[in-house]
Structure 1
Amino acid sequence: MKSIQTYKILQNEPLTQNVYKMILEGDTSWVTNPGQFINITIDTEYLKRPISLCDYDDSTLTIIYKVVGAGTSWMAKQEVGKEIEVLVGLGNGFTPQQSKHALLVGGGVGVPPLYRLCKDLIEKGVEVEVVLGFNTKSECFYENEFKLLGASVTVCTVDGSYGTKGFVSEVIQGDLKNYPYYSCGPLPMLKAVFDASNTQGQLSFEERMGCGFGACMGCSCKTLTGYKRICVEGPVMKSEEILWTKD
């Protein structure tokens, strides 16, 4: 159920030059699936900031965010011990499927919501292949964290400064094309992953959300059954229901 709650910051530190990890202490009973998100109140801004969950336990939420504007700049300055207001109970997350193998594909700040999904899949005995995409080496994060879970990890950088040179979709070859897949990242990447795969998957869309609970219709996505709101019917949707054309 959606509600506004108060959380205490237990950790807020950089993973890269502009990507931060924040751990919040508070109620987590509302979390049902990996891939859900929260909407953080920014004291200096009108709109809240939607951030996907990276991980969670009985008393904490872990989020990873990129500093790109005023709101996330404010977040990066918040100190341990500060209490912040958060809108919770948001979004439909990933639904882990029963399968022998799974492919997880994340780009940039689309990587974090795949972490808890990876953990859950491996606990179910699934062999997980993870492909992480970044622009350059200095932007890479969480490679070792996925490896520690037991996943096989491939890192791609556009400029070739680390790992495999190129885009994540170029790695989806051979058997990987037939694995059930889960992906989160910018829209062009999601479309490329969709095109590269021979099977169905689940896609988590990144959208700027005005309200976070479906009132403004500002984050709608065109599907086979009409427009759906990323903040309510998403952010995770089935690959086969998405209409990729703009008309």
Structure 2
Amino acid sequence: MKQGIYTIIEHTPLTKDVYRMVLSGDTSAMTMPGQFVEISLPGFFLRRPISVCDYDEKTITLIYKVVGQGTDALSQMKEGESLDMLVGLGHGFDAGKSGDAPLLVGGGVGVPPLFNLARKLIAAGRDVTVILGFNKADEIFYAREFEEIGARVLVTTVDGSVGVKGFVTDALPEHFSYVYSCGPMPMLRALYKAAQGKGGEFSLEERMGCGFGACMGCSIMTKEGSRRVCKDGPVFDKEVLEWQI
């Protein structure tokens, strides 16, 4: 983890409520896909946790949805302004477990943390399939970006306006070596049942306080006891999670 000041160099809407923000600054604390940052916003006591979509030696890309006052304030910020951020938080995805044909499944704002993972897997020669699940056509984002880096992309919409009608589990390929996923818990539960017998890692969406394990506010019960989503996760082996609750 590292605290620093990051400058907004790009800030654009992707949909009505979803924004893409690119910031320049020190990215040395980023060590794996699936980590997140905590953003300090003027006038707000708690930092806001945002998953990292992508990063390189000089920039961090965030994609977030406006869901409250904090993210609304974030959406008003302009290029050239700066943010105080904690970077390199959490335990991310282990790309080394993927096998030859990994499946990446994202639902809504669970899509962004899968992008850097897909890029790394494709660079390693893996045959990557990505399923992106949304409610309707005007909520879709980043399908083209996944295709541009070489992933095979399937889109599902609940209303059937684009791609496969239904949920992400309605588009599962017959063969895949390992599954990585991020999204709401009902989606993850359904995916767990549909991917029985396959290894996998799921990233959980959980409300957080400190973001680095001190407050214990994001603790969940697993088969290995109580774990902190911010520190021990947000990525967990899918077999460790307590799916009956």
Identity %: 51
Q: What TM-score, normalized by structure 2, do the two folds share?
A: 0.97
Q: Which residue of 2 aligns with 1:86?
A: 85
Give me the whole-angstrom Cα distance separating, in 2, the residues matched to 1:223 and 1:65. 27
Q: Can you give the 5+ residue segments of structure 1 that lack an aligned partner in the other structure?
A: none
Q: Which residue of 1 aligns with 2:191?
A: 193
SS of the equivalent of 2:175 reads helix
Whether 1:54 aligns to 2:53 is yes
- Greater shift after overlay, 212-221 or 137-146? 212-221
Q: Which residue of 2 aligns with 1:151?
A: 151
Q: Can you give the 5+ residue segments of structure 2 that lack an aligned partner in the other structure?
A: none
Q: Which residue of 2 aligns with 1:33?
A: 32
- Greater shift after overlay, 216-225 or 229-238? 216-225
Answer yes or no: is the 8 Å Cα contact 2:183–2:205 preserved in 1. yes
Answer yes or no: is the 8 Å Cα contact 2:164–2:170 preserved in 1. no
Where has structure 1 moved over 3 Å in runs of 4 or more?
A: none
Deviations 1:179-237 (A, max 9, x none): 30000001111111111003110000011101101122111121111011000000001
Whether 1:117 aligns to 2:125 is no
Q: What TM-score, normalized by structure 1, do the two folds share?
A: 0.96
Give me the whole-angstrom Cα distance separating, in 1, the residues matched to 2:24 and 2:173. 41
Deviations 1:91-128 (A, max 9, x none): 01101125110000000010001001000001111101
SS of the equivalent of 1:218 reads coil
Answer yes or no: is the 8 Å Cα contact 1:44–1:71 preserved in 2. no
Aligned residue among 154, 179, 186 for 1:181 = 179
Answer yes or no: is the 8 Å Cα contact 1:118–1:128 preserved in 2. yes
Give, as a single letter, the amino acid of the residue that structure 1 aligns with 2:118.
C
Whether 1:207 aligns to 2:216 is no
- Give the alignment's Cα RMSD to 1 decimal: 1.0
Give me the whole-angstrom Cα distance separating, in 2, the residues matched to 1:231 and 1:17. 28
Q: Which residue of 1 aligns with 2:103?
A: 103
Q: Which residue of 2 aligns with 1:44?
A: 43
Alignment: residue pair count: 243
Whether 1:163 aligns to 2:163 is yes
Give me the whole-angstrom Cα distance separating, in 1, the residues matched to 2:161 and 2:215. 41
Q: Which residue of 2 aligns with 1:142?
A: 142
Give, as a single letter, the amino acid of the residue that structure 1 aligns with 2:184.
P
Give me the whole-angstrom Cα distance separating, in 2, the residues matched to 1:12 and 1:89. 21
Deviations 1:43-83 (A, max 9, x none): 12111110111011111000000011101001100000001
